[in-house]
């Protein structure tokens, strides 16, 4: 039986921390749907389509990964693709409260949903998309520590002085 899971997130942009979680999840799941949330209330740097292309480029040689965009609630997306296991990453204790809230809310709406948490490597425990955007907006030199080369390039282009 193929074990499939959804890894939902904003991925604005996808970082080496996200990549670390995907690589850990791959030791347990055969197939992973990376699901980009198109959240209208959140102001994103990259459009969902740009993020999809960036993540597809990262996993272009990996048949285990499929990248998708979803606009609905995660539970509705889960029903749509008929996958009820959700992967999330945990960094510090500070992530716990939000993740607990999300997992409980999802379960209240769809009892079949099971959330699975992976702890990131120490070296990415500080890393977030917001930090990456902050660094990119000031000085692109250090971006290779945080993101893949294609995302680094996209960030440099976004923040290139006019």
List active site positions.
18, 42, 91, 129
| Nearer residue to ligand ADP within complex by CB, 127 or 136 | 127
Residue 151, C-beta contacts closer than 8 angstroms, at least 6 positions apart: 13, 14, 15, 54, 58, 143
Binding site for ligand ADP (CB under 6 A): 9-11, 15, 17-18, 20-21, 37, 88-89, 91, 95, 120, 124, 127-129
Q: 43 — phi, psi (to 5°)?
A: -85, 115
Least Cβ distance, residue 159 to ligand ADP (angstroms): 19
**Residue placing its CB nearer to ligand ADP in the complex, 42 or 160:** 42
**Shortest separation between residue 14's beta carbon and ligand ADP, angstroms:** 8
Question: Taking a C-beta distance cutoff of 8 angstroms, is the pair 91, 72 a contact?
Answer: no
Which one-letter DSSP state was computed for residue 71?
-
Output the smallest distance, CB 120 to ligand ADP, in A: 3
Closest residue to ligand ADP, judged by C-beta, is: 17
Are 44 and 13 contacting, i.e. CB atoms less than 8 angstroms apart? Answer: no
Closest CA to 32 of 12, 10, 55, 5: 5
State which residue, 130 or 137, has the beta carbon closest to ligand ADP. 130
């Amino acid at each position: 039986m193929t074990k499939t899971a959804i890894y939902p997130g904003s991925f604005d942009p996808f970082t080496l921390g996200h990549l670390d979680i995907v690589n850990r999840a791959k030791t347990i799941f055969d197939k992973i749907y990376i699901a980009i949330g198109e959240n209208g209330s959140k102001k994103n740097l990259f459009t969902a389509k740009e993020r999809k292309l960036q993540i597809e480029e990262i996993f272009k040689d990996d048949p285990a990964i499929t990248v998708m965009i979803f606009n609905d609630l995660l539970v509705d997306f889960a029903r749509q693709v008929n996958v009820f296991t959700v992967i999330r990453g945990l960094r510090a204790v500070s992530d716990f409260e939000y993740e607990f809230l999300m997992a409980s809310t999802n379960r209240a709406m769809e009892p079949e949903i099971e959330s699975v948490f992976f702890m990131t490597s120490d070296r990415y425990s500080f890393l977030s998309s917001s930090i990456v955007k902050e660094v990119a907006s000031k000085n692109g030199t250090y971006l290779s520590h945080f993101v893949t080369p294609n995302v680094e390039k996209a960030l440099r282009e976004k923040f290139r002085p006019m």
